[in-house]
Structure 1
Amino acid sequence: MSYQDTTQNIAKNLKTLHQDMPKLMQGFGQLSQAALENSVLDTKTKEFIALAIAVEKRCDDCIAFHTKALVKLGANLQEIEEVLGVAVMMGGGSSLMFATHVLDAFHEFSNQAAK
């Protein structure tokens, strides 16, 4: 499974939804921008929170997008691993299994960014 392919396929389908349901997608886009903008917490911290929730919710697609965003924001492996520790604390064994998916995604997107 390629996380790069996952984000590209979802982005393509989201574009279709944007064309077919523009109000819904604009609303969600505005919600996302408002939630992630730098404020008391910076965007990187908010993406860490979103990643932990994605792991706890067991959403591979969410893991892909939030890991990709964190790589772009300069997150390092140690930061990612600390976030995964909190996600596992909150979600137990099944979150531990999905935490391993984040490591795969992180390495894939990090290698992509280095090129």
Structure 2
Amino acid sequence: MLQDWIESFKKNKQAGAALAKAAPKLMAAYQGFNASQNGNGALDPKTRELIALAVAVTTRCDACIAAHANAAKNAGVTEAEIADALGTAMALNTGAAYVYSVRAFEAYQQFSAQ
């Protein structure tokens, strides 16, 4: 096991509670923003959680992975659906690495031409 995600989820909630006590307006705004997502209801909960997990991977947010893996389970997401969503995240990261590799190569070429 790489990480105890259930324990991580619990600890993140505890840490969040401490921040909420120290900065209640900030946390109320954050929670309000979270609650307002998907306000028009166009996406079902499974789709939202698949997107959230893919984004959590691309942003490298362990707390997000824990929270949205749990929410995905609660929304009825299957392992096959998770695997497809994570494959999309992997492909996107690979694509981003390609684009930035092209940029880095171009920068090198411009400096070499001086």
Q: TM-score, normalised by structure 1?
A: 0.75
Bigger RCO (CA 8 Å, 6+ sep): 1
Q: In the alignment, which residue of structure 2 is the partner of 1:92? A: 94
- Picking from 52, 71, 74, the partner of 1:72 is 74
Q: In the alignment, which residue of structure 2 is the partner of 1:107? A: none
Structure number, greater radius of gyration: 2
Code of the aligned partner of 1:55: V
Q: CA deviation at 1:49?
A: 1.0
Q: 1:29-68 counterparts in 2 under 5 A?
A: 29-36=31-38, 39-68=41-70
Deviations 1:58-111 (A, max 9, x none): 222211111111001111101101101110110129xxxxxxxxxxxxxxxxxx
CA RMSD of aligned residues (A): 1.6
Q: CA deviation at 1:16?
A: 0.8
Name the CA distance, whole Å, in 1 between partners of 2:45 and 2:85.
15
Structure 1: segments with no counterpart, 5+ residues:
94-115
Q: Secondary structure at the match of 1:89?
A: helix
Structure 2: segments with no counterpart, 5+ residues:
96-114
What percent identity do the matched residue pairs reach?
A: 34
Report if the CA contact (8 A) 1:36-1:43 is conserved.
Answer: no
Give the aligned length: 93
Q: CA deviation at 1:38?
A: 6.6
Code of the aligned partner of 1:77: E
Moved over 4 A (4+): none
Q: In the alignment, which residue of structure 1 is the partner of 2:23? A: 21
Q: Secondary structure at the match of 1:39?
A: coil
Code of the aligned partner of 1:85: G
Name the CA distance, whole Å, in 2 between partners of 1:37 and 1:43.
12
Q: Which moved more, 1:35-44 or 1:78-87?
A: 35-44
